[in-house]
Amino acid sequence: MRPHRAVLNPSLGTVAREVALASADEVAEAIAAAKAAFPAWRDLSIAKRQAIMFRFRELLVARKDDLARIITAEHGKVHSDALGEIARAIEVVELATAFPLMTKGEFSENVSTGVDVYSLRQPLGVVGIISPFNFPAMVPLWFAPIALAAGNSVVLKPSEKDPSAAVFIAELYAEAGLPAGVLTVVHGDKEAVDVLLTHEDVAAISFVGSTPIAQYVYETGSKHGKRVQALGGAKNHMLVLPDADLDVTADAAVNAGFGSAGERCMAISVVLAVESIADELQAKIAERMQGIRTGDGTRDNDMGPLISAAHRDKVVGYIGTAEADGATVVVDGRDPEVDGDPNGFWVKPTLLDKVPTESKAYQEEIFGPVLSIVRVASYEEGLELINANPFGNGTAIFTNDGGAARRFQNEVQVGMVGVNVPIPVPVGYHSFGGWKQSAFGQGKAYGKHAFDIYTREKVVTSRWLDPSHGGLNLGFPSN
């Protein structure tokens, strides 16, 4: 009998449904279907392919509320946050509709007498996408629309924790006219992942998840000859200088620290406060946290539960670790009273101050609603902490000093930088990707770089022969 995995409603702590996990043979069947569908999809005219992309965009916009409800039911994030996730995904879907402009080749006429050289950008074949639980719609839609628009076929393996959003997206693609086999959803665990990473008919892998798994995906996929982009974890810092507007900064820290219960790879988890303003900033952040409504995502709340009981316990453990290591628990989110079922996986927003940098609560990704304040003496000390961190996903500086901001964006060793912007996720026509242990392989998602990942260049040197140009010449070709 095929193994099943429980899909929970995190707001209730109960099983909502079960998902059947594909065997290795079933994943191989999905890959075979994608391979069989690829030639016809690749050769479909640009006009017809683009029409399907536009039709999918219209269906997604029309049905976004339905998709948001699916996300809330399985992930737990509040409905408005789920709609925000979809809105950011639509940016990339809209970019994908412009694929004819992004996949054009180049042409050089008469490089030698009667000889032309031109390049073609052609799809790779079968692309595997492995997406995480925290953005069950947005991350698949970072990758699949561009891979499909470029002419590839796709096998998508969503997280088994909240798999229904991926199925809904695939159904919309089918309704838009995408041929059978061009996009296939397979559910599974590590067994399914390993088939995608090792199967000879998979040309490329796109992945988002934790850093250890991202590194495994990169190493395994690359070893088996695949083009791999693997986006990993983060520990994002916000550096606050003394001249910053502390009201704006406190709003930003709360929004960036606790949105989606902190289950974002771009969440701000550490505020580096220059000592002279640290007390005032801490008080402003704590004051704002009192108004955050935590509870069931289907109700009028600001923040929902964590994804599972195990993850809740892990986050609570980090709070205890920080406290044991000498941090001050300013706002304690443990054992919370919430607007929701007491069996849900709740941790309310938590604020820690004076967190030692030696503590695991500082060094490791918590991935929950825990904001740590680390006090620094100066810009230089704050920058040094950011650059010493093994992660390099996102960072921000809050200041009214343009020179300091310009210096920061030049000196910081992080892939995405915000200046008075707490979560610097680029818009769809720029690319998303971190540095250091936050990204492996060809780590840029969406934007123009994504079309480079999902295509390969072929260069043609062409001459249409004139009979008068015949004859033997064993020398090197010349003008």
- Active-site residues, by number, are 265
Nearest-Å Rg of the Cα atoms of the chain is 25
Q: What is the distance between the alpha carbons of residues 13 and 458, in angstroms, rounded to a whole number? A: 53
Q: What is the distance between the alpha carbons of residues 456 and 463, in angstroms, rounded to a whole number? A: 23
- Nearest Cα neighbor of 96 from 157, 176, 40 is 176
Where is 6: in which H helix or E strand? strand 4-9
DSSP string, 437-459: TTEEES--BSHHHHHHHTEEEEE
Query: Is residue 93 within 8 Å of 60, Cβ to Cβ?
Result: yes
Query: Is residue 235 within 8 Å of 211, Cβ to Cβ?
Result: no
Query: Is residue 99 within 8 Å of 50, Cβ to Cβ?
Result: yes
Query: Is residue 338 within 8 Å of 346, Cβ to Cβ?
Result: yes
The number of beta carbons lying within 10 Å of the beta carbon of residue 401 is: 15
Phi, psi at residue 391, to the nearest 5°?
Answer: -90, 155
H helix count then E strand count, the chain: 16, 20
What residues contact 198, with CB distance under 8 A and at least 6 apart?
220, 224
Query: Is residue 250 within 8 Å of 361, Cβ to Cβ?
Result: no
Q: What is the distance between the alpha carbons of residues 395 and 384, in angstroms, rounded to a whole number? A: 13
To the nearest 10°, report the CA torsion of 210, 168, 161, 337: 100
Q: What is the distance between the alpha carbons of residues 278 and 284, in angstroms, rounded to a whole number? A: 10
What residues contact 84, with CB distance under 8 A and at least 6 apart?
none
- Helix, strand, coil % in the chain, rounded to nearest 5: 40, 25, 35
| Position 305, amino acid | P
Q: Which residues pair with 289 in a beta bridge?
A: none
